[in-house]
Every structure is written in structure tokens, then in C-alpha cells.
Amino acid sequence: MVNAQPALDGRFARLVRCFLIIGLMLATTGFTVLRGNAAQEQDYYRLVTITTSQALTGSRAKKWKPPPRELVLEVSGLTVLDKQRLAVAIRKGEVWILGNVYEEPPSRVTYHRFASALHEPLGLLRRGDALLTAQRSEVTQMRDVDGDQVADEYLTVAKGWGVTGNYHEYAFGPKIDGAGNLWITLNLGLGLKPDQRNRTIRNPQLGVSQGKWRGWGLKITPAGKLVPVCAGMRSPSGIGANAAGDMFYTDQQGNWVGTNALHHMRQGAFFHHPEALASMQLPESPIRDIHQIPAGVSFPEAVRRLEQLKPPAVWFPYRKVGQSPTDIVLDDTGGKFGPFSGQLFIGEFTLSSISRVFLEKVDGEYQGACFPFREGFASAVLRMAFGSDGSMFAGLSNRGWSSLGTASYGLQRIVWTGRQPFEIQEMRALPDGFELLFTKPVSASIASDVARYKMQSYTYRYQPQYGSDEILRRQLPIQSATVDAERRRVRLRVEGLRELFVHELHITGVQSDEGEMLLHPRAYYTLNRIP
Amino acid sequence: MAVYLVGLLTLLETSQVAAVDGAESPLVAGFDRFIRQQVLPSEVGGRLLLSELSCTACHRSSRPELAPKRGPNLAGVSRRLHTEWLQRFLLNPQKVKPGTTMPGMLHSLAAGERPQVARALAAFLATLPVEQPLKLLSTGSAPLANAFWSKGDEQRGRRLFHRVGCVACHQVDADYQSEKVYLSDREKRLAELKFDPEERQELEAVDAPQPFRSVPLGRLSAKYGEQSLTYFLLDPLGVRPAGRMPNLQLEPAEAADIATFLLRGDSREVIWREPSVPDLVARGERWFRALNCAQCHPLAGIVPRPARVLEMLSVDAAESCLAEAQQGLPDFPLDSVQREALRVVLQRRQPGQDTAVKVDRSISITAKLLKLNCFACHERNGMGGVGPRRWPFFETFNHVELGDEGRIPPSLTGVGRKLLVPWMQDVLAGQARVRFHLMARMPRFGKANLGDLANQFATVDRGNLSRGKERPLGGPSEVSAGRTLLDQGCVQCHPLRGEWLPGVMGVDLADLQRRLRPEWFRAFLLDPAALKRGTRMPTFFPQGKSVNRQLLEGDVERQIASIWEYLKTIQDQPLPEKLVTGKALNFDLEPRKRPIVLRTFMERAGTHAIAVGFPARVHVAFDAHQVRVVEAWRGKFLNAHGTWFDRFVPPARPLGDPPVLFPQGVPLAVLENATAAWPSETGALAGYRFGGYRLDRQGVPTFLYRTPQLRVEERFVPLDGGRGLRRLLKMTPFDSKYAEREPVQVWLRLATGRALQSQGPDGYQIDGRWTVRLPGLTQAQRGQIRQVGEQWEWIVPLKVNATMMLQASYQW
């Protein structure tokens, strides 16, 4: 294994030392400072910084430059190789293999370049002895055939979607589902220039044009066939499977997308953005016959008017739970990461944080609740992966945008301290309300007081404008709060539930036996169906 | 200045006492610093107090420089402040916030009545309409955490408070250690100095900036909630339009941090206890009118009662704000020095005496700098500047070593000579920043409060220049010479157009023309230290002679004029060579030992381009979408900046000589006969499928693809000496069994061009530019040269019944 630090000749050594010192100072003065909730969250989930950018210019500076002679680890893909090694794709187009990543302090981490010449890879997956990534124009399988630890075979696994040359046409993935299919998602282009328009296909009836399969989720079957599955994505930068092997993706607020959301990818589903329907007339399209888009109405109304339109499993109310969701990872650590086994964690770019999602199936469709989980990362959380020890890697890069975390990039690890956080573990829908499961027994006298709970519901407007306010808001009276015998479950009877609306719950004063307050006393349930 | 100090030594005793006793007198920083310490005469101090204590709010004066400061805007006060604090403050302002300029207003009421009045006033104030709060959006480029004001960090806030400029006026936290500034022994002693001019003289420090008491904050946690203090810090001018608390242009998260620090963790929501009982509100309004509060806190619909105009006031009147607290008048607990200063100025202000006095512009500037306390940070003509105790808290970004110049806000001496008026206006409006290395920020004071300061600076400072001292730029200039001179000197310390050499931090020179007067620029280059004391800027023209005697014959005037001229047109000029080289170093790809492969966007090779650069300095680009080789070129390879780091991913351009172009369309096609047209479809439409590539031990890629009939492996390697490329094709039929009997018959199109000239049996020269050969061909195998429209093409028929290898060479 080769260390990434290039041999430093005398001329640069002084400079590099200078940057290291500055970096150290930044580390003690800037990035590692925890804000707000992070201060409490770290009692339960602490962050280990493996590396962060040491650039002299702030990541928001107009002329941001990578620091000289530093590996610009703008993480765009992560996959765990074994008990010591982690493979990291970076946006510049390389794959690095990092060793000793679990050590604390992480001072002996080794860096070894495995692959290069990839065009903005935005995912990384290990399959057997090969690594897979989605580049802008294809899914590529990289392998080291001759045994020198460097990839020498870059085989095209799938190709054939439109690449007009527009910057926004990112390709994400792949991730693998329960049946062995590889999944990718394709961004829409934004603001195409005339020469880029020449590479689009057009649906004149809907008046939309985009590159082929842009705004779609596609799978690559084990036989190597590229199959379009679902459409209407805007900027689907995260893909992930749940414990059942079903695939989800996250989408970013913007035109036609009222707020960020988590969607279940399945055959023929249309999610929101109509420009993706430029590809509807292609013979392989599983979506047919959308002739009109019900623009400017509430989302529930749009779902009623357009049969193909499928609501998200979870809406992430803007800023309350993130502002730009990214990766999806399943907690399959069997408890090594705390009490959230089987749930999904969602990366968050702008607010440099991670959220948590609980899903259940009602009438065969997924819906559920989201919660804040951990803030205070050094930069935008773009990729996550669980390590072999049950800790989670967070790959950071705020390229092209900006984030609360002020480093431009980096790699951190989130380790459960072993202390049980007092949290709303699950929130389930009931015919007449919700059932909360807490991570610890609650004080029954307080938890049965309806005044401790406040609920409101609202939805979003389905419109061509950027984002949407929360609309049709209604406060919902809590009629009763019943604590079960083990004091971990509380049933809330709520009047006036509305299907397809977000139901936002605030809890005040509910305590655990030890007198702790909830670490995150708010929950947001997307009630597509009342059971 | 020294004259005052020596001459007025006799008065020192009393003023010393007053200054110390002055703990409960209103604090006006400029007064404290310059009048109390005898730097400026009492009369200046008196005038300062007239405006800063808002005397002229009631006692109107026609003179604009005496315009009253006035108090905060009270709309929304019930959202901002804890009601309990407000009532206590009304009862005794100096006790709750020692040093405040708010006079006591309730002292003349019966002691038992006062709390009732305070309560009623608070109730009334709570009914004032709340102005639209500052709207803060969280966007992708300026992210904002949900409920960001509750997520401040005390440690970070403490650091910001001591770094961004708050401590220029406010009290330094005794526990806070500045991180990196080392003080000399003399500076340490200076910092320990009290207000004793004698001691200052002993230390030969009469000219050193005088210390002054800090502008009081009071116990902020008793006053504000975390949200209201955060919002106040983000927009102080919205609440206090006078600009004495300027806007430090904080990011929302920074404001939350500082608020958390100031509240010392004792943060809560604003508690407003007063119920709006109509009767109480009505009483409050009556009191608000009766106490004439609207003089300093204007409210729509309430017209304050006028008081005697300033010029009509008598110093010795029995009933006066200057006397002991009196019924119906505000109570200003002035100390003796303040009283004396007001006496002096009011005595001179007898009717008829000063109407003819024309306000001297330089006095007017000083008055403005005193009011806004610009002197807290800036020195001008020997007055003011960062005080010795606050000195250590001014830092350079990342502690890069730039000397004091890199951490202390600049001197304003001669600023009107240096800067252009529009630029000064921008700076004063807080819209211009060039010293990104200074941690202290230039705050925004509000346009109305600055008046015409920029023009005043210009008039005074340029008027002071003796004739002939300043010369315009002279001599015919040469832009290229300017560029060379910048390359030899300036770029070592200055960024240019956002590019800089490693480790360089300083003022970007690119928009110099917007900022500087050319006359000053010339004088500064000739003798930097003469215009800027203690500057690190070296002179490149010692004794008026250029260190570069070759360029423009060493003509100093022409050299300076050329630098100016180059900077003037810099947006259209190439950067100085060192910067160009430095920039290219980062991203120009130069294959040294092994080939470099880059997937990117290219104009000709499209959005699926794979470029291969060879150390032999000959390169080729393959289009994985059309599945064909597209172009080849010699010289420099590619610049990867757009591919690696530019969000908008512009296409990468071949950097070397103009490329040679391979035939458009697929390389191998089945034709009905030798005259059939070459198919126009490419890539997947032609049944091709790209399969990736393999790298050999040397790192040379072999492209893998399929035609409808064949598996193809194609690779390029440089010809000896980089004179061109060798193309190796390996073709295998899918169905080898069948092919044994019935070979696959395809055509290979080797070249197209407007003119093909035979070069022996196995080659052609194309358009006079390059030569293509397929060595070892017999005449029969040589294939066809045929004309298609304006084009000629060379096609070769192949019969593939097993794996077939071909080698072509392209030389130019």
C-alpha cells in the first residue's frame, strides 16, 4: 500500500509544513466546533475526523482552489472493502483505497490510488473483486487483473442514456437491490444551451425536452440489460435499499418538487418532474399516456388528478429535516450503531447533517416518518457507508454548492458511544392517530398528558415554480395519549387526520426514567394512507 | 496635541477623578478618549455631547453637525427585550446599564409612583406595531440551520467577538487570550497605561493611541433573548438607526454564535409579562407623551413638545438639564468634565455669535469620526487608531505573517488623496472589501449617518497637497512591459484576478483602477513608506531609479505608467507569466512516463470522450458514444481544470497543434458493394456497442467494442519520435465456427479528405497534411478510393474468418 503523501522536495516541504500548521489551526479553531444540537448529539454519536480540507480559501470563495499537493478527497462514493480498508470515489474521477481507517486517532491512514480517468463518478459499489461506479456517461466496472493493486480493466456495464453536456446531468449509483439488480438515477439537465439541446429528445405534447432517460431511475439486470423503471426525478443524488431489498431514492427541492423527499422506486411510478417525460414515448418506457400535468394545485389534488403520480414515502419538511438530502444507507449493523436497526439514514448536503427515516407499509405502499439525527459535520454529507465495526463513514464534499460545514471536503466517521439516546424510535400510523415507540421507558404521568403533544398537518403545492411553502396547514387536537405497560409506547388519538399530508409532531417535556429530555422532540410523518 | 497635554496639566487632577468617577456618567467614546485626555479642546467635546446625548433632539439647532443621535426605534421592543429589564431600565438607566446615554426620565416622580409608570410605559410600548423582521432565507449558497439562532456556539462566538471588530469599542473578555499576536515590552507597558498623560510622556508615547473606556453592554442576558439578540446583531441599524452600533456584516450563524457568547449560555426566549390591559396601555401612552419620549424615540402620530432652541439656552439658568436633577427635565448624570465641555460650547453659542462661523471641513470630518467612533479602529492625522489594550485582538486571517499592516485597519491619513470618491463611498457603505486577510471587518454605518464623508476626505486631503508635490503618470506606456514588471515584483505578494502564487495573501491588484488615484499610485510606488508608515511594500525604485534598467530603458515614469496601463486593461490581458505557469502547473496534464487517460467532454469527441495522452507528445481522442476515434494532435495534451473542478464542466480542448481528424461515422461497415454509401448512423444506431477499455502494463488503453458482426479491440500507440500514431485493430467474428465457412465481409474506412494523394502501394497523403498507411497491402488488397460529394475516401475490404490483426499508421 502506497501512502499518498508525495515525496516532498525541499522547496515544497516548507510550504506544505506551513499548510499543515494552518490546517491544524483550522482544526482547532474552525471546523470542529459543534453548533447547537451537535453538542448534545455527540454524547451518543461522536465524530472522528479522518481528513478534512485544509484549503486556505473558504469553500464558498469564488475562486476556490484545492490546496497544493493535497489529495482533494471530495468524496462521491464509498464502499467498505474489509476490516481495514475503505474504497473512496472522488469527484475528480479517481478511486482511492484507504487503509487503517478505523484507528483512533486516525493518524496512520494510508492512501492508495486504485483507479483514475473516471468522469465525475457519483457512487461506488463493491461486487466480488470488482468495483462499480456510475460515471457521467456509463456504469463502469473496475478490476485489477494483473495484481498490482491498480485497476487495469474498465468495462462498460451499462450505457445509453442521454448526455447532452449540461453540467447538471449527474449520474448516481449504482446500488444493488435484493434481487441483484444494479440501480442508477439520472439528474435532469438544467438550462440547456443550444448545442446541448441538439442531444435531447422532445415530447411536444407536454412541451418538455431532455436527454434520453434524464430524470429516470433505471436498473441493470444481472444479465446486463438496462431497464428504465420510474421517472420524474429532479436531482436524485441518493439511492439505497431498505431491509426488504426495495429501492429508494432522495430528491431535491426545486421546480415541481415542493420539498425534499424519499421515494420508493418501482415500475411505472412517476414522481413529480414532468421534464423526465421527454423519454415517455420511447418504446422501453413503462410509463404511458400522461397528456397533461395538473400544475399549481396541492400535491394531494395532483395525485387525485394524475393516476401515474405517486406520492413520496416521506417528505422532508424544508430545513426542519434537511435542505438537500443525499445518500441513503440502511442500518444493518444489528444494533452496533444504536437503537435504529433496520431504519434508513439520509445524508444532508447543505446543512451538513444526517437525518433518520422510519418506514412502514400501509396497503402495500411505503410511508413513514423522518427525524433529525446528527448535525455538525465538517462539510456536506454526500455519501455514507457502514463500516465493518458498525460505525458509519460520512463522505463529505460541498463542491458546486455550499454547506454549513465550512471545509470543502473530507471523511468523517460516526461512532455510537454506547449510550442510549432518548429518541422517538418509531412513529406508526393508526386509523385514529399515531403510535410512538421511544428508545427508553417514559415517565407515564407526563407522557399521558395530551398537552405535551402538538400536531399540525400541511402539504405542498405541485407547481413549476421552485419549491413550495407548507400549505393548507391545520392544527390537530390530540384527544388522548395512552402509555402502554412497558412505558415505551404511546398511542396518540388525533382528530382530523388527512391523507397525503405531512403530520408534524412536537413533543415538550416528555422524559425518560432518568429524567432526560428527547434529543430530537420533533417528528414528521407523511400520511399517504390512513390504515 | 502635546501642547494641550502640557498646557492643561493643571486640570488633570480633576479630570482624572472625573474619569474614574465617571463610571455612572454617560459614556461617549470619542469624548472619553480625546477630550477627557486633553487631546482635543473642550469645545469639540461639548459639541460632541450635544449630538451624542441627543441634547439637540429637544433643543433644536440648525447646524447639521449637531444633529442628535437619538435613541433606539421602539417598535417591536416587546419582541426584543425582556419586559422586566425594560421596566428596571426605565426606573434607573445608569444603574441598569452604567454609561448609557439614556437619561433618567422618572426620577422626578414620587418614588412610589415610578414602578407604575414604568409598567404602564412598557404596556404601551408592547402595543406598537412590530416592523417586518429581517427576512432570512436559507439557500444553497448561503445555508442556514433550522432555528439557527438557537444553535450558536459560545466558544466560537467568543472568538468572533474578539476578532471581527466588536472589541474595538466593547470590553475585552478578561479570560480571552488572543491567539497569535506578540507584543513588545513597550507595547505591553502601553497597554497597562491608564489615562495619565504624564506617564505617556515618560514613555515617549504621547502619540500612541489613547486608551478609552469600553462602550457598555450591560448584562445582556437580562435584556435579550437569544433570537432577539441574534437578529439585533444582524441588523443593528434597523433598531438603532444612528449607526453608533454599526452593522458588522455577520453571517446569521456568526450572529448566533456571538449572541450565545454575550448571553453566556443564559439564553431563553424573550419574556414579556405585561398583559395588554387597555387602561394600562392608555396610561402608558399618556406618560410617553408627558415625558416627551418621542423626542428621541419618534413614533408615528406623536408630536413631541418643542423645547427652547439650542442657541437660546443659558448655561447659568436655574432650571437646566446641566443642573442637578430637576422636575420635568431629563436627568443626565454628567461628570464635571462633561459639564464643563457643555458650558464652554454653550457660552460660545450666544445668539448672533456663531451664525457666521463657517464650518471647517476638517473639523466636520473629525466630528463625524468622533461620533461614529471611527477612531476606535482608524488613525487619522495622528489621532486615534486601535488602542493599546485592544491591539492584540486584531488578527490576520490564519495568522499569515503580514505584519501589523495585515491585521490593523488602515490609517485614514491622506485617504482622500489615495482613494477615488466612488470607491470611498462603496467602502463606507460596507460594499467594498479588498483586505480579506484582515479579520476585523469594516462595518456598515448607514448612508444617512455618513453624509458626504467621502467627498469631504477628498476635498480636505487633496487641498492639503502643496503644489508640485503630486505628479500625474507620465510617458508613453507599454502594456506588455507592465505585465513583465508585475511578474518580476508585485505577484510575489499580491493576488491578481483571484489567482495567486502559493502562500501569497494580500490585496488583489486587479481592480486597482476602481480604487486608487493614479497620482497617488505613482507616488506610492516611488516611495511606499512615505505614504504608508510601516508598510511592507518595498520600493522597486530606490532613489528614484528602477531596479530594472533594461525595460523601457529603465525609464521610471514610463515603467510606472505601464504598470498602471496593464492593470487598467487586466481583464483582457494575459496574467503575468508566473501566475499563468502556476495555474497551468495544477491542471495541465503532461504525460511523463506513462500515458494519461481522461474521460471528459470535448467539442469533437463529444460527451463520451476518452482522451489518451502519450509521453511522446502525440495524443488521441476516442468517442465512446459514436464508437470511433475522432482526432489526434501533437504538442501539449489537455487542461483538466474544467473536468476536475469546474461546476459547469466546459469541454476540454486539445492544447497542442491543430488536430488531424479521423473519418466521421463508424470505422467498419458492411456495404452492398463498392459503390454503396457509407452508413451515416453511428454508435448504438449502427449496432455498435462500446465495452470499455483495458490498460496494458505500460498504461496504454485498448478500446473494446462490438460491431454487429465483430468483436473489436482497438489501440493507438505513438510512432517513433512521436511523428504520428500506429493504430492496431484486432477483429474477431462472434460466430467463429460459421465464419470459418463464410467469412465476415466488412469495409474499413481508413481516411477521408478533400484530396487523397497516393504514397506508394500502401498509403495516401490526405489534404497535404498527413499520411495514412496500411503496410503490407498488395495492390489488390488496397481497396477503393472513391469520391462522395466533395469528399474522397479510402475504404478497404476485409474478409474476417478468424481473428484478424491490422496495423495502420498515421503520420503528420
For residue B437, is it within any domain?
Answer: no
Question: What is the tens place of the pLDDT at every residue in A266-295?
Answer: 999 999 999 999 999 999 999 999 999 999
Q: Is residue B90 located within the same domain as residue B52?
A: no
Q: How many CB pairs under 8 A join A and B?
A: 138
> Is pLDDT of A30 > 50?
no
Question: What is the tens place of the pLDDT at every residue in B559-596?
Answer: 999 999 999 999 888 999 988 887 777 788 999 999 99
Selected residues 399-418 of chain A with any CB under 8 Å from a CB in chain B? 399-404
Question: What is the residue type of A499?
Answer: E
Spatial CA neighbour of A383 closest among A154, A4, A56, A79: A79
Q: Beta strand A433-438 with A424-430: parallel, antiparallel or unpaired?
A: antiparallel
CA distance A348 to chain B (A): 12
**Which structural domain range is residue B668 located in?**
590-811
H or E element: which one contains A114? strand A110-115
The x, y and z cell numbers of residue A438, run together, are: 421511544
Question: What is the tens place of the pLDDT at every residue in B297-306?
Answer: 999 889 988 8
- Find the range with the poorest average confidence among A134-143, B66-75, B341-350: B341-350
Q: Give the contacts of B29 (CB within 8 A, at least 6 positions apart).
A: B169, B212, B213, B215, B373, B376
CA distance B410 to chain A (A): 23
The predicted pLDDT at position A18 comes to: 38
Q: How many CA atoms, within 13 angstroms, populate the side-chain half-sphere of residue A250?
A: 30
For residue B395, is it within any domain?
Answer: no
- How large is the average pLDDT for residues B326-345? 87
Which residues of chain B lie closer than 8 angstroms to A34, CB-CB?
Answer: 153
* Closest in B498, B608, B644 to A63, CB measured: B498
Confidence of residue B398 (pLDDT cuts 50, 70, 90): confident
Q: Which residue has the higher pLDDT, B505 or A252?
A: A252
- How large is the average pLDDT for residues A456-465? 96
Q: Check: CB of residue A246 under 8 Å from CB of residue A310.
A: no
> Is pLDDT of B658 > 60?
yes
- Find the range with the poorest average confidence among B26-35, B358-367, B610-619: B358-367
Range with top average pLDDT, A36-45, A435-444, B59-68, B495-504? A435-444
- How large is the average pLDDT for residues B36-50? 90
CA distances from residue B76 to B71, B100, B131, B446, B766 in whole angstroms, order as listed = 14, 21, 6, 20, 82
ipTM attached to this prediction:
0.91
Q: How far is CA B498 from the centre of its chain?
A: 11
**Whole-prediction pTM value?**
0.79
Question: What is the residue type of A485?
Answer: A
Confidence of residue B323 (pLDDT cuts 50, 70, 90): confident
> Is pLDDT of A142 > 90?
yes
The x, y and z cell numbers of residue A353, run together, are: 447533517
> Is pLDDT of B22 > 70?
no
For residue B372, is it within any domain?
Answer: no
- How large is the average pLDDT for residues B516-544? 89
The predicted pLDDT at position A26 comes to: 37
> Is pLDDT of B311 > 90?
no
Q: Check: CB of residue A214 under 8 Å from CB of residue A161.
A: yes
* Closest in A33, A68, A93 to B155, CB measured: A33
Q: Is residue B97 located within the same domain as residue B230?
A: yes
Mutate to test the interface with A, among B137, B150, B151 (most CBs of A within 10 A): B151
Q: Is residue B488 located within the same domain as residue B537?
A: yes
Mutate to test the interface with B, among A33, A118, A253 (most CBs of B within 10 A): A33
The predicted pLDDT at position A1 comes to: 34
Which of B558, B584, B610 marks a domain boundary?
Answer: B584
3-class state of residue B656 by DSSP: coil
Task: Supply the CATH number for residue B775's domain.
Answer: 2.70.98
Q: Is residue B66 located within the same domain as residue B100?
A: no
Selected residues 290-319 of chain A with any CB under 8 Å from a CB in chain B? 319
Give the number of other CB atoms < 10 A from CB of residue A109.
18
Question: Per residue in B422-456, is it b (16+ CB within 10 Å) or e — as a string?
Answer: ebbbbbbebebebbebbbbbbbbbbeebbeebbeb
The predicted pLDDT at position A407 comes to: 86
For residue B427, is it within any domain?
Answer: no
Give the number of other CB atoms < 10 A from CB of residue B89.
21
* Closest in A138, A140, A351 to B145, CB measured: A351
Q: Is residue B26 located within the same domain as residue B128?
A: no
Average pLDDT value for chain B: 87
- Find the range with the poorest average confidence among A332-336, B142-146, B495-499: B142-146
Question: What is the residue type of B186?
Answer: R
Could you give the number of structural domains in chain B? 4
Q: Which residue has the cell 480498508?
A: A85
CA distances from residue A131 to A86, A128, B584 in whole angstroms, order as listed = 12, 8, 32
Q: How far is CA B455 from the centre of its chain?
A: 24
Which residues of chain B lie closer than 8 angstroms to A18, CB-CB?
Answer: 503
**How far is it, in rounded angstroms, from Cα A345 to Cα A349?**
13
For residue B345, is it within any domain?
Answer: yes
Which residues of chain A lie closer than 8 angstroms to B619, CB-CB?
Answer: none
Spatial CA neighbour of B691 closest among A226, A153, A156: A156
The predicted pLDDT at position B316 comes to: 76
Task: Supply the CATH number for residue B557's domain.
Answer: 1.10.760.10
Residue ranges, comma separated, of all CATH 2.60.40.1220 domains in chain A are 424-527
* Closest in A153, A399, A402 to B141, CB measured: A402
Which of B297, B330, B365 marks a domain boundary?
Answer: B297
- Find the range with the poorest average confidence among A201-210, A291-300, B636-645: B636-645
- How large is the average pLDDT for residues A311-316? 98
> Is pLDDT of B800 > 90?
yes
The x, y and z cell numbers of residue B678, run together, are: 457509407
Confidence of residue B2 (pLDDT cuts 50, 70, 90): very low
> Is pLDDT of A19 > 50?
no
Q: Check: CB of residue A309 under 8 Å from CB of residue A295.
A: no
Percent of chain A having pLDDT more than 70?
90
Q: Is residue B758 located within the same domain as residue B680?
A: yes
DSSP string, B324-375: S--TTS-B----HHHHHHHHHHHHTT-TTTSTTPPPPHHHHHHHHHHHTTGG
- Give B796's strand partners: B748
Q: Give the contacts of B556 (CB within 8 A, at least 6 positions apart).
A: B526, B541, B544, B545, B546
Which residues of chain A lie closer than 8 angstroms to B649, CB-CB?
Answer: 120, 165, 167
For residue B375, is it within any domain?
Answer: no
Q: Is residue B334 located within the same domain as residue B250?
A: no
**How far is it, in rounded angstroms, from Cα B448 to Cα A388?**
63
Do A93 and B644 count as a contact with CB atoms less than 8 A apart?
yes
Which residues of chain A lie closer than 8 angstroms to B143, CB-CB?
Answer: 323, 350-351, 402-404
A111 in contact with B, Cβ within 8 Å: no
CA distances from residue B153 to A233, B234, B253, B664 in whole angstroms, order as listed = 38, 16, 9, 62
DSSP string, B668-705: EE--SSTTSPPP---GGGGT-EEEEEEE-TT--EEEEE
- Give B239's strand partners: none
A320 in contact with B, Cβ within 8 Å: yes
Confidence of residue A192 (pLDDT cuts 50, 70, 90): very high
The predicted pLDDT at position B196 comes to: 63
A513 in contact with B, Cβ within 8 Å: no
The predicted pLDDT at position A279 comes to: 97
Q: Is residue B49 located within the same domain as residue B107?
A: no
Residue ranges, comma separated, of all CATH 2.120.10.30 domains in chain A are 46-416
- Find the range with the poorest average confidence among A39-48, B319-328, B523-532, B650-659: B319-328
CA distances from residue B117 to B104, B113, B273 in whole angstroms, order as listed = 13, 6, 15
Q: Is B536 exposed, middle or buried (0-12, 13-18, 19+ CB in 10 A)?
A: middle
Percent of chain B having pLDDT more than 90?
56
Confidence of residue B275 (pLDDT cuts 50, 70, 90): low
- N-terminal to C-terminal alpha carbon distance within chain B: 81
The predicted pLDDT at position A16 comes to: 36
Confidence of residue B765 (pLDDT cuts 50, 70, 90): very high
Q: Is residue B664 located within the same domain as residue B603?
A: yes
Range with top average pLDDT, A367-371, B453-457, B465-469, B642-646? A367-371
DSSP string, B233-290: HH-HHHH-TT-SS-B----HHHHHHHHHHHHTT---PPP------HHHHHHHHHHHHH
- How large is the average pLDDT for residues B102-116? 91
Q: Is residue B609 located within the same domain as residue B647?
A: yes
CA distances from residue A471 to A258, A300, A406 in whole angstroms, order as listed = 10, 11, 33
- How large is the average pLDDT for residues B118-138? 84
Q: Is residue B76 located within the same domain as residue B65?
A: no
Beta strands in A418-510 (DSSP E): 424-430, 433-438, 453-462, 470-476, 478-483, 489-494, 501-507
CA distances from residue B190 to B37, B135, B168, B185, B206 in whole angstroms, order as listed = 15, 45, 16, 9, 10
Q: Is residue B138 located within the same domain as residue B240?
A: yes
- How large is the average pLDDT for residues B508-533? 92
For residue B38, is it within any domain?
Answer: yes
Range A46-416 has CATH code 2.40.50.140 = no
Question: What is the tens place of the pLDDT at every residue in B136-159?
Answer: 877 777 788 888 888 888 999 999
Spatial CA neighbour of B731 closest among B712, B747, B704, B749: B712
What CATH code would you report for A424-527? 2.60.40.1220
DSSP string, B393-408: G--BGGG----GGGTS
> Is pLDDT of B682 > 80?
yes
CA distance A334 to chain B (A): 32
Which residues of chain B lie closer than 8 angstroms to A140, CB-CB?
Answer: 692
**How far is it, in rounded angstroms, from Cα B794 to Cα B792?**
7
> Is pLDDT of B410 > 90?
yes
The predicted pLDDT at position A2 comes to: 35
- How large is the average pLDDT for residues A356-360? 98
> Taken in order B560, B566, B569, B571, is the CA torsion positive or negative?
negative
**Edge-to-edge strand order for the sheet containing B628-634?**
B596-602, B606-613, B618-623, B628-634, B660-661
Range with top average pLDDT, A194-203, B270-279, B621-630? B621-630
